[in-house]
Amino acid sequence: MWAGSILFFGVLFYWPLAQILSIGFRGNWLATIATTKIASIVWFTIWQAALSAGLSLLFGILGAYLLYHRFFSGQKFIRALITVPFMLPTIVVAIGFTAFRELPVISDLWRVNSGVPIIICANVFMNYSLAVRVIGGVWQSLDLDLDEAAALDGAGRLRTFTSVTLPQLATSIASVGSLIFLYCAANFGLVLVLGGASVKTLETEIYRNASYNLDLDKAAGLVLLQTILTVSAFMIAQRLSKSGLAFLSTSTMQQRPRIDRRDLPALIVTGVFIGVLICLPLASVIWRAFQVENSFGFLNFTNLGGFGARDLLSISMGQATINTLRNAAITTLVSMSFGLVASFLLSRPAKDRNHSRLQHFMDLVFQIPIGISSLVLGLGYLVTFGDGLFPLRSSWLVTPIAQSLLTIPLVIRIIYPSIKVIDYRLRESAQTESASPSQIWWLIEVPIIRNVLLMASGYCAIIAVGEFGAANFLAYGDQATLPTVLYQLISRSGAQNYGMAMAASTLLIIFATSVVYLLSVLEKRTITT
Amino acid sequence: MPLSVILAVGLIATAVNITGSDSPKEVVLVTHDSFVMSKELVADFNQTSGYTLKLLKAGDAGSLTNRLILTKAIPIGDAVFGIDNTLAGLATSKDLIDGSLVPTNFGDVCFNYDKTWFTERKLAPPVSISELTLPKYKALTVLQNPNTSSPGLSFLAATVDIFGDSGWESYWRDLKNNEVKVTNGWEAAYFTDFSGSSGKGAYPIVLSYASSPANEVRSNGQSQTASILDGCFRQTEYVGALKNAKNPNGAKALVAYLLGAKFQASFPEAMYMYPIVEGTPIPESWSKFTEISTKTYGDKLDINANRVGWLAKWSAIFE
């Protein structure tokens, strides 16, 4: 199984990456990156990503507490709603964020010419749900008896949290924290669209050098820096999560407590956060979709049946929707099956030192695609898969395959921590009853993480639907997807195209909310073991 | 063997099959993202030429050119549309084109202003680009980064032409001191910052195209915006057959079709550009709201040779 995984990642990720980088490394790449300018770009990349990840975690832990550890009605809808930003194309985020121009205080942030405060807000906007869901996923299955025991000993809620709960959540916090850090470090769309000319991250520099200047020497050097950054973030996360050991509930019925008056501060902070940072931009996009020259109407939606002003689009919205859903289905299938296998291999108890080393190494191999420029990978596909063994380049399958490489690391980071916290006693007692490893996996572990699997599939599906970079880079004209069509609309002046783009975004928002909501209905309320 | 590996192998096998059945009749046109060809014209080309046209959009003009350079040995298509005069030198020096690039259409990169905004404030809109540095137009202009945007680079070339090697940098310093906003792409500038578009932003002056006002016509029959017809850059776009193409004859047929009367006539409506072939009819509704400038700047300069140097100097001012 290891060999299969290595083959998959090797052929579809590392080989094309090596092909394109080898062009750059033939040149004088070292001299181009050993400059103070690059040092300041690296520093900005790190601090903006660290700050964004820190804020996402801070609000995310509070959110996870309310949405997964407490109970109130409407919870599932809110969980679904906060997931939407994760899939929105960046230009739509930028348009949604213009709503903040109307607000006091925040409008001053908007005026900062560099756009850095807005970039950080947008990072948090997009990644908040990831923190809430990954941390919440573990939190909701923690054994509540421990909390109660601590309370009986006279510990307050904050005390219980810091001394009992936090250590048990450490693995998931470190895991999702590093994930968000890497997403923020490698997101070039947001930085480009929200930042001014002076804001540069490693990824935007790679974009500029690879796509505009065709300076592959410099791009290769920058990708090397990116790899170092990714590996370091990953190592730090592993170190931080070592102490983590959680106790999952083994009781068949575990009722989450209702929210009460003492939750009020958490409720207010989270309410304001979700209301202002998440709902306002989304509402602003939806509002614009219904605007027809200063009045209210459905014209933008009925226009979606056509091909845009002056037949701008070469395929219909319906065809683009079919392409998108088809890609999303394949991406979800491939990345879920692969992610599950990889998580299984990574989570087995290490037999010896070498086995443990192999697991750490493979974990890294699976994680690196998240931190590496997808543009560079795209260029790698262009030069690698033109002919020869795999002339993938001209097939529509290239888009879902590339999208899978983007979602597999996420699937692993979602599934792996929750397998890690499954009580080892369960496994041991099954073993003594002479169950085979695959029986233990399929009959005991997979059912326990069922909810997590649903969540991971939801993320795969919505990422694939909203994904723009790979789709725009690799999809042929008649293979355009909803986000690429949306960009075509918005790259032309005119109210009709703009209105159609907003209407299409609204449909994306509704789609993402419904998918995640429906999946959460499928979730089992309680964990039976 | 894990399911995913089986799937992957299956997928690749299918992919190989699909490409294996490539018909020699297929001709691939690589274009920038803004290329538009109606279904009727595609069908017409297929019928008259006997080929099957496939369109491949490969990013904006800059990314397009660079992707073609990277894949020169095994090109991603047979012909290319959308390399413009800021990039033609690069494409030629990299020996991408079989034969030569042929101009197909042109348009002007100009500033647009929001007529309503200026009328409401009883302020006269600027008539020249020099005026953009005046205090009365402080913090009113949004334009694009020439490092990442093709209209941005066009305007930079125009300023080099107008103010000369000794003067263009100080013009840009004045623009910066007058608080112009710089975005990385046209979309953000036009749809989030410009006040005259549906984005209803805070800046009433934007760097765009002379043809943009034709798309901002409101229900009163008037366009909300107009162009400043000074300091415009004449952008010319080209078509050419690619070297090492799989279907060189199809490429030639395609080049000829894009220069033919039917396709030329579609430029104004479909791509907001003027056809290069003289005598091609221009729709009246369109010409009513767009003007072409009588004098354009920068298009005669050797952009390919100077680009890197200009961008370094520009970046020193703005970054």
Strands B181-183 and B205-209 turn out to be: unpaired
**Among B19, B198, B211, B222, the residue to mutate for chain A (most A Cβ within 10 A):** B198
| Section B151-160 average pLDDT | 94
Cβ contact (<8 Å) for B209 and A95? no
Would the CB atoms of B190 and A499 count as touching at under 8 Å?
Answer: no
Instruction: Name residue B109's beta-bridge partners.
Output: B209, B233
Phi, psi of B241 (to 5 degrees): -85, 145
Helix or strand holding residue A2 (H, E) = helix A2-9
Point out the least confidently predicted range of A210-214, A334-338, B29-33, B186-190.
A210-214
Please tell me the distance from the alpha carbon of residue A450 to that of residue A491, in angstroms, as a whole number: 42
The structure's pTM equals 0.84
In angstroms, what separates the C-alpha of B69 from chain A's closest C-alpha? 9
User: Residue A495 is nearest to which of B69, B198, B202, comparing CB atoms?
Assistant: B198
Distance from CA of A521 to the nearest CA of B (A): 27
Q: What is the CATH code of the structural domain delimited by B108-234+290-318? A: 3.40.190.10
Q: For the purposes of burial, counting CB atoms within 10 Å of the CB of B24, is it exposed (0-12), middle (13-18) or buried (19 or more)?
A: exposed
Q: Which residues of B touch A195 (CB under 8 A)?
A: 184
Query: Are the CB atoms for B194 and B206 separated by under 8 Å?
Result: yes
Considering only CB atoms, A208 lies closest to which of B3, B7, B147, namely B147
Confidence of residue B57 (pLDDT cuts 50, 70, 90): confident
**Is the Cβ pair B36, A311 closer than 8 Å?**
yes
Closest Cβ opposite residue B37 in set A314, A386, A491: A314
pLDDT-derived band of residue B137, with 50, 70 and 90 as boundaries?
very high
- What gap in Å lies between CA A15 and CA A30, rounded to an integer? 22
* Domain B23-107+235-287 CATH (choose: 3.30.450.40, 3.40.50.360, 3.10.20.30, 3.40.190.10): 3.40.190.10
Range of A215's domain? 2-522
Torsions phi, psi of B226, nearest 5?
-145, 165
CB B248 within 8 A of CB B114: no
In a domain, A407, yes or no: yes
Question: Is the CB of residue A495 less than 8 Å away from at least one CB of chain B?
Answer: yes
- Please, is B50 exposed, middle or buried when counting C-beta atoms within 10 Å of its C-beta (0-12, 13-18, 19+)? exposed
Query: Rounded to an integer, what distance in angstroms lies between the CA atom of residue A382 and that of residue A476?
Result: 13
In-domain check, residue A337 = yes
Q: Which of A291, A493, A500 to mutate to test the interface with B (most CBs of B within 10 A)?
A: A493
- pLDDT higher than threshold 80 for residue B179: yes
Query: Is the Cβ–Cβ distance between B55 and B258 less than 8 Å?
Result: no
A169 near B CB under 8 A: no
pLDDT confidence of residue A516: 86
Is position A296 within any domain?
A: yes
CA distance A400 to B12: 12
With respect to residue A528, please indicate whether it lies within any of the assigned structural domains: no
A8–B4 CB contact, under 8 Å: yes
DSSP result, A71-82: B-TTHHHHHHHH
> How do residues A353-380 score in pLDDT, each as one tens digit?
888 888 888 888 888 888 887 778 888 8
> Does some domain include residue A529?
no
Residue whose C-alpha is closest to residue A452's, from A421, A406, A426: A421
d(CA B267, CA B287): 12
Of the partner residues A94, A212, A398, the one whose CB lies closest to the CB of residue B147: A212
Kindly tell me if the per-residue pLDDT of A89 is higher than 90.
no
> Helix, strand, or coil here: A284?
helix
Is residue A319 domain-resident?
yes
Instruction: Give B87→chain A minimum CA distance, Å.
Output: 10
Choose the closest CB to A95 out of B36, B191, B269.
Answer: B191
Sequence ranges of the domains in chain B: 23-107+235-287, 108-234+290-318
Note the pLDDT tens digit of each residue in A397-414: 888 988 898 899 889 888
What the block records as the tokens of A83 is 């997931």
A66 φ/ψ angles, rounded to the nearest 5 degrees: -75, -40
Please give the structure tokens belonging to residue A109: 């942030």
Q: ipTM of this predicted complex?
A: 0.77
**CA-to-CA distance for A245 and A73, rounded, in angstroms?**
31
What pLDDT score does B319 carry? Answer: 78
Of the candidates B42, B187, B269, the beta carbon closest to that of A310 is on B269
* Two domains, one topology: B23-107+235-287 and B108-234+290-318: yes
Residue of A nearest to B185 (CA): A193
Q: Note which residues in 203-222 of chain A have CB less than 8 A from chain B.
A: 204, 207-208, 210-214
How far is residue B198's CA from residue A428's CA, in Å, rounded to a whole number? 63
CA A360 to the chain's CA centroid: 22
Chain-chain contact of A197 with B145 (C-beta, under 8 angstroms): yes
CB A128 within 8 A of CB A59: yes
| Beta strand spans in A286-410 (E) | 291-292, 295-296
Structural domains of chain A, count: 1
Look at residue A527 and tell me if it is in a domain.
no
- The structure tokens listed for B200 are 């209803």
Would you say residue A451 has pLDDT above 60?
Answer: yes
pLDDT in tens, A180-207: 999 999 887 888 888 877 888 998 888 8
Say yes or no for a CB contact (<8 Å) between B66 and A211. Answer: yes
| Facing B15 at nearest CB: one of A196, A383, A397 | A397
The residues, any chain, with a CB within 8 Å of residue A428's CB and separated by 6 or more, are none
Mean pLDDT check: name the lowest of A242-251, A252-261, B8-17, B83-92.
Answer: B8-17
Asked, for residue A422, whether it belongs to a domain, the answer is yes
**pLDDT tens digits, residue range A298-346?**
888 888 887 776 666 767 888 888 999 999 999 999 999 999 989 888 8
Share of chain A above pLDDT 70, in %: 92
- The strand ranges marked E within chain B are 26-31, 52-57, 79-84, 97-114, 141-144, 181-183, 205-209, 225-242, 274-275
Q: Which pLDDT score is estimated for B246?
A: 92
Residues on chain A touching B11 (C-beta within 8 angstroms) = 330, 334, 397, 401
Cβ–Cβ under 8 Å, residues B115 and B206: no
The lowest-confidence range among A504-508, B17-21, B42-46 is B17-21
The CATH number of residue A91's host domain is 1.10.3720.10
